[in-house]
Amino acid sequence: MLRKADVLTSLYRSPNQPQGAHRALKYVGAVLLLTLAACSAQKPQPQQPSEPTAQQPSSAAALQRWEAKGKMGVRSPKESGSANLVWQQADRANYRIHLSGPLGAGATSISGSPGGVSLQRGNDPAVFASDPAQLTEQIMGWPLPVSEMFYWVRGLAAPGAVSGQRKNAQGLLQSLQQSGWALEFTGYQSVGPYKLPGKIKASTTNAAGPVSVTLVIKEWSPR
């Protein structure tokens, strides 16, 4: 870029030029001087920092491994009571649900793997099956839909048909009907980046009569 002195020198270097040409050169020189002044006045503007975005709670669907502790209450025609619960979920197909206390008059362990599910009650031999709900109904007299509970316990609808689904203003599941069960979700709590229900009430009716299951989670430990 030419300096101002260079422009002025070039404009007035030849005094014997014709008057018209002299005027034209003076006009061009004035424009160039204005351009140079504008360039020198421009300064780079500092980059404005972007506004921080509010951190949103992570979807509970991202939670695949956990240990949850609480209580489970059951009312059914064949058995009623409550038990302490420890639920260890290693991944989608591997889990262990341990019930201890008055319900069932002893400890009950339900363990799942890709090969199926086993249930052991007290000192009795373990019983194996492919469907946990059928297995618990066969041994305990009431169905426990563990496959769907993998989703329900996180406040999510399980894959498949859903009806009567209702959410609150924050998008948290409040109720739904699925797989023959009517469910209500309350007591949501913050667990790290997740919002998880603290209490789930589920009810259904099987061949023996009405069954209701209440699950209260007192302690979540995502892994």
Q: What is the pTM of this model?
A: 0.73
Token pair 């959410």 in the structure block, residue: 167
> Contact, 137 vs 149, CB < 8 A?
no
What is the count of structural domains for the chain? 2
User: Are 11 and 106 in the same domain?
Assistant: no
User: Are 81 and 22 in the same domain?
Assistant: no
Residue 99 is part of a domain; what is its CATH number? 2.50.20.10
User: Are 78 and 37 in the same domain?
Assistant: no
Question: Tokens at residue 94, please?
Answer: 């591997």
Residue that wins the pLDDT comparison between 19 and 108: 108
Instruction: Convert the pLDDT of each residue in 155-178 to its tens digit.
Output: 999 999 999 999 999 999 999 999
Q: Which of 167, 166, 163, 165 is nearest to 179 (CA)?
A: 163
Average pLDDT over the chain, rounded to an integer: 82
Sheet strands (E) in the chain: 66-75, 80-89, 95-100, 108-113, 116-121, 127-129, 163-167, 173-178, 181-186, 189-191, 194-196, 199-206, 209-222
Residues 107-120: what's their mean pLDDT? 95
Provide the domain limits for residue 97: 62-222
Residues 201-208: what's their mean pLDDT? 91
User: Are 82 and 182 in the same domain?
Assistant: yes
pLDDT at residue 16 in the model: 53
pLDDT at residue 10 in the model: 47
Residue 48 lies in a domain: no
User: Are 13 and 121 in the same domain?
Assistant: no
Residues 114-131: what's their mean pLDDT? 93
User: Are 168 and 109 in the same domain?
Assistant: yes
User: Are 36 and 145 in the same domain?
Assistant: no
> Contact, 92 vs 64, CB < 8 A?
yes
User: Are 81 and 131 in the same domain?
Assistant: yes
Residues 13-26: what's their mean pLDDT? 49
Residue 118 lies in a domain: yes
Residue 153 lies in a domain: yes
d(CA 184, CA 175): 4
The pLDDT of residue 137 is above 50: yes
The pLDDT of residue 11 is above 80: no
The pLDDT of residue 116 is above 70: yes
Cβ partners under 8 Å of residue 70, min gap 6 = 84, 85, 215, 216, 217, 218, 219
Instruction: Convert the pLDDT of each residue in 42-97 to its tens digit.
Output: 544 544 443 333 344 579 999 999 999 999 999 999 888 999 999 999 988 899 99
